[in-house]
Amino acid sequence: MKLGVCYYPEHWSEKHWETDAKEMREAGISIVRIAEFAWAKMEKEEGIYDWDWLDRSIETLATAGHQILLCTPTAAPPAWLISAHPDILPVDEQGRRRRFGSRRHYCPNNKIYHEYSKKITRAMAERYGDHPSVIGWQIDNEFGCYFTRCYCETCTTEFQNWLQKKYASLEELNERWGTIFWSQTYNSWGQIEPYNLTVAEPNPSHVLDYYRFASDSWVDYQQIQIDALRENIPSTQFITHNVIANLNTIDYHDLSRNLDFISWDSYPTGYAEMGSQDIYAPDEKIPAYAHDLGDPLLTGFFHTLSRGLKQAPFWIMEHQTGAINWSENNTGVRPGALRLWTWQAAATGAEAVVYFRWKASRFGLEQHHDGLRKHDGSADTGYADLLTLKAESQELDDFIAQPLDTPVGILLDYDTLWAMEMQPHRKDFAYMKHLFVFYRACKALGIEPDIISPEADLGRYKILLAPNTFMADENLAQILDDFSTQGGTLMLGVRSGFKDINNVVTEEPLPGLFCELIGAKVIQWHSLPPKIVYSLQSEIPDFYPEATFWAEALEADAGTKSLANYTDFPFESSSAITEKKHGDGKVVYCGIYPELKQAKSLMRHLLASENIAMLDIPEGLTVIQRGKKLLAMNFTEKNLHLDTAFGEYNISARDFTIIEE
């Protein structure tokens, strides 16, 4: 397991550099990430480079035995560049051009910015590409942070070009977008503007294409830097980017495609405080113990999502070490947190954990953000945890040397996520919330799922969950059909097949392209307000007999079994969940939006039918199985018990136990 740290030599007097490098090594750190915001120091004025300080900094770190991860500095274009070319600044949804004075102040489509980005990237790559201690590169920093969609003049023109390439003719676009609605028919490409600033809500097909275009813009911008790097660095140096895993505005499957691996930035307490409402059901609360440890389910969900982007190990490029500065309470972190976080990350597939940051900053926005060392250079809480981790490193390495088995795949499709986000139909009907219920159901049964693109290698899974396949095309229908025909168990969730990929409703009975596959039709659907429930009767053991939130009435074809029926008005006698044999496999359609306990019963049913062993994991315990070893992590303040087929175990509060079969 590799440990690293984010370091800003430009923030500190050189007299500290050697001590810093030495103290990092003492704590088991061997990778140092530098330079992602240092453009103004590397190129003080246009074309006037100063590499001396960076040379010396790299040498100091390398001499202490560190490997260096260099970042391109394009997340922070310097003042001289912006004052010479103010059009680089992005324009927000309200049509306001944003100003210099923070970071991420550029439009990804600006051609002048492309040239400057290439120039600085090449200059860095030429200088450090053959340095024996430089192991790889991070491009930019957190694409999409603060904003993803720019609405400037360049983006308008580029959007029109993007549309022309996609649709070839205006007739085609008008047809596919359904612009006849409200007389939105276009007569020339130049009439099509970004959707912001419309009087009433815009056409969802138009919006979806703008979302896709904006996502593509970042993918293409990243490619400019990948190319500039690859031309100048050896193939032994890797290229990655650090995403915000809960962002959802960039298609991370596209973004990760040409990277050697994906990285994400994990701040468990911040995500628990700020992000839980986006992922839990409205009546659920994040667990109380999460206040200074974050919510291990939320953190784990993003680890899993990151691992699924390339179906491969990933890096944590920034990991919280103490209090952060951008949340609501910015909780102080107690001893032991960093140790548990690091074990969880490694066990879930992180190949390296890079901590943010070495020393707390004395100036700028992040003065109240902790690092491993305090402002005065003395050790902070996280540093002590690193010393514990150092002592446990062999145990950790032995654990992660075991294979990670993920028998269940959960589909993630960003286009559908966006379509759902713009027309949820029911408050709180959110794509990620729906996925999260099934993720939690798996975790509660001791199963680590993968979260993957429909284009991924699905042959690895015995069970494939598609909780929210709102948009569908023939290609996806074929992929899912093949999966079950070849022996897999497929589950489709509510609202499947409702739309085509233009964000237009299907002309077929629901679930559209999946009717034959599921062997049933959705004849009616109801959004259920709080406290309104429809009663159910199910043959699935312990299935909680009430539909809440969203219910669909299904009419099963002959040969399709009903696993659950509605028992009262208005869906009386209709099916709520169906199951059909399909080829060598089977297809389940879950016509209700399940609560966690229902998703758990359904998962138990599916896992049992595939003979996959399960556990019953108590709340607060996070279990990850690798090979014949189980890592049971207790994130609560009480001791917890775990029963397994080979014994009963006590796991101490805020601690972990490794159980071997």
Active-site choice (23, 36, 43, 318): 318
Among 140, 265, 273, 292, the residue binding ligand GAL under the rule CB under 6 A is 265
Stretch touching ligand GAL by CB under 6 A, among 220-228, 318-326, 453-461, 485-493: 318-326
- Determine if 150 is a binding residue for Zn ion (CB under 5 A): yes
318 catalytic residue (yes or no): yes
Nearer to ligand GAL, 151 or 356 (CB): 356
Asked if 273 is part of the footprint of ligand GAL (rule: CB under 6 A), the reply reads: no
Least distance to ligand GAL, CB of residue 145, Å: 6
| Nearest residue (CB) to Zn ion, 98 versus 339 | 98
Residues 6+ apart with CB under 8 A from 134: 58, 67, 68, 69, 70, 128, 237
Which of 5, 81, 82, 152 forms a contact with Zn ion (CB under 5 A)? 152
Residue (159 or 267) nearer to Zn ion, CB = 159
The pair of three-digit structure tokens given for residue 138, joined into one six-digit string: 């991070």
Angle at 656 between CA 333 and CA 643, to 5 degrees: 135
Nearest to ligand GAL of 326, 646 (CB atom): 326
Q: Does 155 bind Zn ion (CB under 5 A)?
A: yes
For ligand GAL, which is the closer residue by CB, 265 or 552? Answer: 265
The interface region with ligand GAL, picked from 139-147, 249-257, 466-474, 514-522 by CB under 6 A, is 139-147
Question: Helices then strands (H, E): number in the chain?
Answer: 19, 27
Shortest Cβ 159–Zn ion spacing (Å): 9
Whole-angstrom CA distances from 647 to 117, 446, 644, 661 are: 58, 15, 5, 9
Least distance to ligand GAL from the beta carbon of 103, Å?
8
Tell me if residue 410 falls in helix, strand or coil: strand
Across the strands, what pairs with 134?
68
Query: Given the DSSP bridges, would you call strands 585-590 and 575-582 parallel, antiparallel or unpaired?
Result: antiparallel
By the rule CB under 5 A, 89 interacts with Zn ion: no
Q: How far is the CB of 365 from ligand GAL (least distance, A)?
A: 8
Comparison of 113 and 267: residue with beta carbon closer to Zn ion: 113
324 scored as a contact of ligand GAL (CB under 6 A):
yes
Contact 566, 573 (CB under 8 A): yes
Q: Reduced to 3 DSSP states, what percent helix, strand and coil does the chain have, rounded to the nearest 5? A: 35, 20, 40
In sequence order, the 6+-apart residues with CB closer than 8 A to the CB of 119 are none
According to CB under 6 A, which residues from 145 to 204 bind ligand GAL? Answer: 145
Tokens 């490794």: give the residue: 658
- Buried b / exposed e over 483-500, threshold 16 CB at 10 Å, is bbbeebbbbbbbbbbbbb
User: If you compute the radius of gyration of the chain from its CA atoms, what whole number of angstroms results?
Assistant: 26
Query: Is 539 a catalytic site residue?
Result: no
Using rule CB under 6 A, residue 380 touches ligand GAL: no
Candidates 109, 141, 248, 269: give the one binding ligand GAL (CB under 6 A).
Answer: 141
- 39 contributes a contact to ligand GAL by CB under 6 A: no
523 in Cβ contact with 539 (< 8 Å): no
Token look-up 């240092």 returns: 38
| Contact set with ligand GAL (CB under 6 A) | 141-142, 145, 265, 267, 318, 324, 326, 356, 366, 369
Which residues belong to the active site?
Answer: 142, 318
What residues line the site for Zn ion (CB under 5 A)? 107, 109, 150, 152, 154-155
